[in-house]
A and B are shown apart, each in its own frame.
Chain A
Amino acid sequence: MIRDTRISTGYALQGAGPFTDKEYTREFGETELGRAKILVVGAGGLGCEILKDLALSSFKEIDCIDMDTIELSNLNRQFLFREEDVGKSKAEIASRFIKQVVKDVKIQAHFNKIQDFDMEFYRQFTLIVCGLDNIEARSWINKMVVDIAMQHTQYIPLIDGGTEGFQGSVKVMIPTITACFECYKQLIPKQTTYPLCTLASMPRLPEHCIEWAHQLKWPKLYPHTKFDADDPEHVTKMYRMSLQRAKDFGIEGVTKAKTLGVVKNIIPAIASTNAVIAAACCNEAFKFITSCNPNLENIMYYNGEVGVVLASDEYHKLVDCPVCGNRPREVVITTSQITVEQFANEYVKVRFSLVEPDIFYNGGDIYNFKNGNKEDNRLLVEVIPFEENSNDGQLHSKYQLIVVDKSLQNPLKLIVKLE
């Protein structure tokens, strides 16, 4: 006897319901669900829930990336891990656990950073669900899916969950079509920072004493040892320094817990909020892939501190978003004999009426009018890589070229096409 999750999900797929798009058919829903390949980014508090929820939503192929290993303080919510797993890869242990429980799902674990993989890797997925605890990784994945949409017209939806204590949110983002993660950044509250002079000469709070030890004292005392918040010995040293500082100034309230909270920037986390946010993410993923019911309009907010608040809201794209704000323009060259200087001048500066543009790509600089490049007679095709585009069979520059200039509000993105 083997578990068949479709006994449950099948009810939602059997035909159009009162809120379903009228063109929906059972065959469509089942086929799409069967062939979807989902990437789960993060196998922590949200990630464990997401993996479970996706597996029980009848998704059959799931990949999971996480660069972290399991810690004791994860166990109050990351239910796929046991005390004996501490120190092992989160992605691997979580994937193995899910496979044991839901046997007909294929899960591939990647004990890696997201930056270890290239665009081709990410292009194999139908949809990405993120359960991350930091903005940097979210921004990176977001830019990846937006770049894929811009360069390959392949739209991989990104569903992003986030939690903090009793609060959380879910964003459903269709790259270049709805607001992207970068568009939402202005909503993110600023992290608390303390002026250095407060830390150095007029501490008032226990936090000031801890940050003084963290930012000023430690680097001075141990110039060759980078502070590691996961090393208990380091934390103890940091705590002692902070405590001494607090004593010197008559400040109360420096505890080890507070020290750890400040230096690690600990965000409180509980199982119940993770459950709510992950379930909402996976519910949206299921509806998106199968079309069995409509998706939420952009963003959902959750707050369980006073009663229960769970509401969705529209959020519009930022016109001048640095990531999804403008699509790359195509520049066609008809011969491979064009020099870098010719290209910079005729095809970029003159054509887009720029003042003194700087042209570069991820492989380095191409031409900068301001810093007075000398004559550059190298051929463009020898300076930047080209590859055959799968859509039109022509040679396209493999990467976007970026142009910044005084006259441009937003950087210009270019794809060079050789016809």
Chain B
Amino acid sequence: MQKAQKGSGSQQGVSVAFIRAKKDLQEYEEIPGIKIHYDTGNPMQIKMSVSPNEGYYSGAVFHFECQVPEDYPNKAPEFRCLERIYHPNIDLDGHVCLNILRNDWKPTLTLQLVFAGILHLFLHPNANDPLNKDAANDLSKYPQDFTRHVQQSMMGGYVGEEKFDRVA
């Protein structure tokens, strides 16, 4: 068996995914309420913070990690919320349920659009796609409780049995 000689594979040019991520980021136009940080040498890992200026979640800051997959843009980028938050479409582990990140992903979508999609989730949480069932139920049936629970959770308090991270 012949072992690999030059081992690294760096001879190969830059991957399609890498170039596309670079392009998306180069064309990114600032969205009010969103800040992104990344190492220009590694556009595949992006840190994002979301500060909604209206709605249930206004006044808080939420941090996300975005991982651009190797077969981007054929596959959607992956997001994870770093704080434990009370949100119908984000579970306690930080998974995000957003249609354009799954079934409705298309290679023509860009990072700009999915960033905006995440912000949209905070401005208009959607009770029909529950990832946190209790939160979705509250939002749909007891909107006033929901508002109160959001406030409590953002202060780092409890909702029911669960304790949440302080984000306000």
- Determine if B26 and A370 form an interchain contact, defined as CB atoms under 8 angstroms apart: yes
A interface: dominant SS: mixed
Q: How far is the CB of B22 from chain A (nearest CB, A)?
A: 5
> Among A195, A201, A363, which residue has its beta carbon within 8 angstroms of that of B10?
A363
Known: A201-B131, A405-B26, A406-B27. A115 touches B12 (CB 8 A): yes
Q: Number of residues in B with C-beta < 8 Å to the partner?
A: 42
Q: How far is the CB of A415 from chain B (nearest CB, A)?
A: 11
User: Is B111 close to A, CB under 8 A?
Assistant: no
Query: Which of the segments A78-86, A311-319, A341-349, A396-404 contacts the partner chain?
Result: A396-404
A residues in contact with B51, CB < 8 Å: none
A residues in contact with B40, CB < 8 Å: 358, 360, 365, 368, 371
- Determine if B99 and A358 form an interchain contact, defined as CB atoms under 8 angstroms apart: no
- Determine if A362 and B7 form an interchain contact, defined as CB atoms under 8 angstroms apart: no
Query: Which of the segments B89-97, B139-147, B152-160 contacts the partner chain?
Result: B89-97
Between A and B, how many residue pairs show CB distances below 8 Å? 131
Q: How far is the CB of A280 from chain B (nearest CB, A)?
A: 26
- Determine if A117 and B4 form an interchain contact, defined as CB atoms under 8 angstroms apart: yes
User: Is B63 close to A, CB under 8 A?
Assistant: no
- Determine if A400 and B131 form an interchain contact, defined as CB atoms under 8 angstroms apart: no
In chain A, residues 110-128, which have Cβ atoms closer than 8 Å to a Cβ of chain B?
110-112, 115-121
Closest to B2 in A: A110
In chain B, residues 1-18, which have Cβ atoms closer than 8 Å to a Cβ of chain A?
1-16
User: Is B20 close to A, CB under 8 A?
Assistant: yes
In chain A, residues 266-319, which have Cβ atoms closer than 8 Å to a Cβ of chain B?
none
B residues in contact with A357, CB < 8 Å: 26
A residues in contact with B2, CB < 8 Å: 108-110
Closest to B89 in A: A197
A residues in contact with B9, CB < 8 Å: 115-118
User: Is A89 close to B, CB under 8 A?
Assistant: yes
Q: How far is the CB of B139 from chain A (nearest CB, A)?
A: 13
B residues in contact with A358, CB < 8 Å: 22, 26, 40
- Determine if A356 and B26 form an interchain contact, defined as CB atoms under 8 angstroms apart: yes
- Determine if A404 and B19 form an interchain contact, defined as CB atoms under 8 angstroms apart: yes
Q: How far is the CB of A148 from chain B (nearest CB, A)?
A: 10
User: Is A136 close to B, CB under 8 A?
Assistant: yes
User: Is A361 close to B, CB under 8 A?
Assistant: yes
Known: A89-B1, A197-B131. A362 touches B12 (CB 8 A): yes
- Determine if B16 and A195 form an interchain contact, defined as CB atoms under 8 angstroms apart: no
B residues in contact with A135, CB < 8 Å: 71, 74
B interface: dominant SS: loop
Which of B5, B11, B13 has the most A CB atoms < 10 Å from its CB?
B13
B residues in contact with A120, CB < 8 Å: 6, 11
Q: How far is the CB of B63 from chain A (nearest CB, A)?
A: 19
- Determine if A364 and B41 form an interchain contact, defined as CB atoms under 8 angstroms apart: yes
Q: Mark B112-145, 1 if CB is under 8 A from A, else 0.
A: 0000000000000000011101001000000000
Q: How far is the CB of A346 from chain B (nearest CB, A)?
A: 20
Q: How far is the CB of A214 from chain B (nearest CB, A)?
A: 13
- Determine if B41 and A365 form an interchain contact, defined as CB atoms under 8 angstroms apart: yes
Closest to B12 in A: A144
Known: A143-B12, A195-B99, A371-B40. A117 touches B6 (CB 8 A): yes
Q: How far is the CB of B60 from chain A (nearest CB, A)?
A: 22
User: Is A140 close to B, CB under 8 A?
Assistant: yes
- Determine if A216 and B95 form an interchain contact, defined as CB atoms under 8 angstroms apart: yes
B residues in contact with A89, CB < 8 Å: 1
In chain B, residues 58-81, which have Cβ atoms closer than 8 Å to a Cβ of chain A?
70-71, 74
Known: A193-B102, A216-B93, A362-B13. A121 touches B5 (CB 8 A): yes
Q: How far is the CB of B112 from chain A (nearest CB, A)?
A: 12
- Determine if A139 and B16 form an interchain contact, defined as CB atoms under 8 angstroms apart: yes
In chain A, residues 351-389, which have Cβ atoms closer than 8 Å to a Cβ of chain B?
356-358, 360-365, 368, 370-371
B residues in contact with A136, CB < 8 Å: 70-71
A residues in contact with B26, CB < 8 Å: 356-358, 368, 370, 404-406
- Determine if A143 and B99 form an interchain contact, defined as CB atoms under 8 angstroms apart: no
Which of B10, B27, B136 has the most A CB atoms < 10 Å from its CB?
B27
- Determine if A362 and B14 form an interchain contact, defined as CB atoms under 8 angstroms apart: yes
Rounded to whole angstroms, the CA-CA distance of A140 and B13 in the bound complex is 10
User: Is A323 close to B, CB under 8 A?
Assistant: yes
- Determine if B6 and A196 form an interchain contact, defined as CB atoms under 8 angstroms apart: no
- A-B residue pairs, 8 tightest by C-beta: A116-B4, A118-B11, A115-B9, A197-B97, A404-B23, A197-B129, A196-B97, A201-B133
Q: Which residues of A contact B (CB under 8 A)?
A: 89, 92, 108-112, 115-121, 135-136, 139-140, 143-144, 147, 182, 185, 188, 193-197, 200-202, 216, 219-220, 322-323, 356-358, 360-365, 368, 370-371, 399-400, 402, 404-406, 411
A-B contact pairs, 6 of them (CB 8 A): A112-B4, A120-B6, A195-B129, A200-B97, A216-B91, A358-B26
Q: 11 other contacts beyond A89-B1, A143-B15, A196-B91, with CB at 8 A cut-off?
A: A109-B2, A117-B9, A118-B6, A119-B12, A140-B12, A197-B130, A200-B95, A200-B131, A201-B136, A360-B14, A405-B26
